[in-house]
Amino acid sequence: MPNADARVDATRDRRIAVPTGERQYHIGLGPGELAEYVLLPGDQDRTTRIASRFDSIELEHRHREFASVTGMYRGQRVSVVSTGIGTDNVEIAVAEILAITERPTFIRVGSCGALQPEMELGDLAITTGAVRLETTTSWFVHDGFPAVADYEAVIALIEAAERLGHRYHVGLTATAPGFYGAQGRPIPQLPIRYPDLAEDMARQRVMNFEMEASALLVLASLARCRAGVVCAVYANRTTGAFVEGAVKDAAEAACVEVGLESLLVLAELDAQKQAASTDRWRPSLWTQEPARTA
């Protein structure tokens, strides 16, 4: 496979310790079953809601927390794979997707807590890079290694949000390894080590807290793949407000719409690069009516 570690390509490495064959152990999928444009929600139930927007579905599969759907969306073959909660789950999902695809593009569609006062419930947060508060990525890279979103993915998410008219913010994300103590949320029964963590991150102009972005961005960078992140604001840590009811539903819908639209934008950019015989997109290549390739 093109993304495999060269050290284990020729002969099977005993350290891998998973069943032989091309069908992946956790996501339960094999080569050809996923598109090269992939949305990554956390919630497996969100996969079903996303797939309801597809024009047609060719595959539906669920194993553990990894729910997957592949189909056509407005003329483009796309897939959705849920990752569950946390960077450890993202590591599993991304590693196994890389094993059965060529060079996938990843867009995470999730939820987050806002750290800046101008961010309102239901807004969208587009990540340019992530503070690595988690340790999953430390098993792959040096602690100083940056978690950076691909510039094409950021451009596509901004363009998608503008096309659809959704209010959004762009900036740095902090990826925490938990929801409570790891994000500085006080717990009466459990003392926490860093009760001022949210304030510290806000002072450093970090835009939001979430729990998966840094792992996706680091692993995608290592695999030389594109990855981006857009999250709906479900909580505002400045005011203590938390989203509910119709506002939550609308926020999720906006996030999903922008994620799907960004995949179409990225397909447009890819067509423009192909026409220009280049592997790097630049603004001068932009056309409003590009030749799309499925």
Residues forming beta bridges with residue 209, ordered by sequence position:
113, 174
List the Cα angle 266/162/132 in 5-degree steps: 65
Residue 73, SS3? strand
User: What is the rounded CA–CA span in Å between residue 182 and residue 110?
Assistant: 18
Q: Does residue 11 carry a pLDDT above 70?
A: no
Per-residue pLDDT at 219 exceeds 90: yes
- Which H or E run contains 93? helix 87-100
pLDDT of residue 47: 95
In whole angstroms, give the CA distance from residue 178 to residue 192: 12
What confidence score (pLDDT) does residue 171 get?
98
| 185 belongs to the catalytic site | yes
- Name the catalytic one among 96, 159, 212, 252: 96
Catalytic-labelled residue, pool 46, 132, 166, 237: 237
The residues with which 147 forms a beta bridge, in sequence order, are 130
The reply to whether 96 belongs to the active site is yes
CB 138, CB 211: distance < 8 Å: no
Q: Residue 107: beta bridge partners?
A: 39, 228
Q: Is the pLDDT of residue 290 over 80?
A: no
Question: What is the C-alpha to C-alpha distance for residues 175 and 212, in angstroms, rounded to an integer?
Answer: 6
pTM above 0.85, yes or no: yes
Instruction: Assign 227 to helix, strand or coil.
Output: strand
The answer to whether residues 106 and 227 touch, using CB atoms and an 8 Å cutoff, is yes
Compute the distance between CA of residue 260 and CA of residue 52 in angstroms, rounded to an integer.
Answer: 12
Span 158-173, pLDDT tens digits: 999 999 999 999 999 9
Average pLDDT in the chain: 92
Tokens of 135: 């340790």
At 155 the three-state DSSP class reads helix
DSSP 190: B
53 has catalytic annotation: no
Tokens standing for residue 276: 């220009």
**23, 26, 49, 163: which is the annotated catalytic residue?**
26
The one catalytic residue in 132, 166, 185, 226 is 185
Tokens of 256: 């999903």
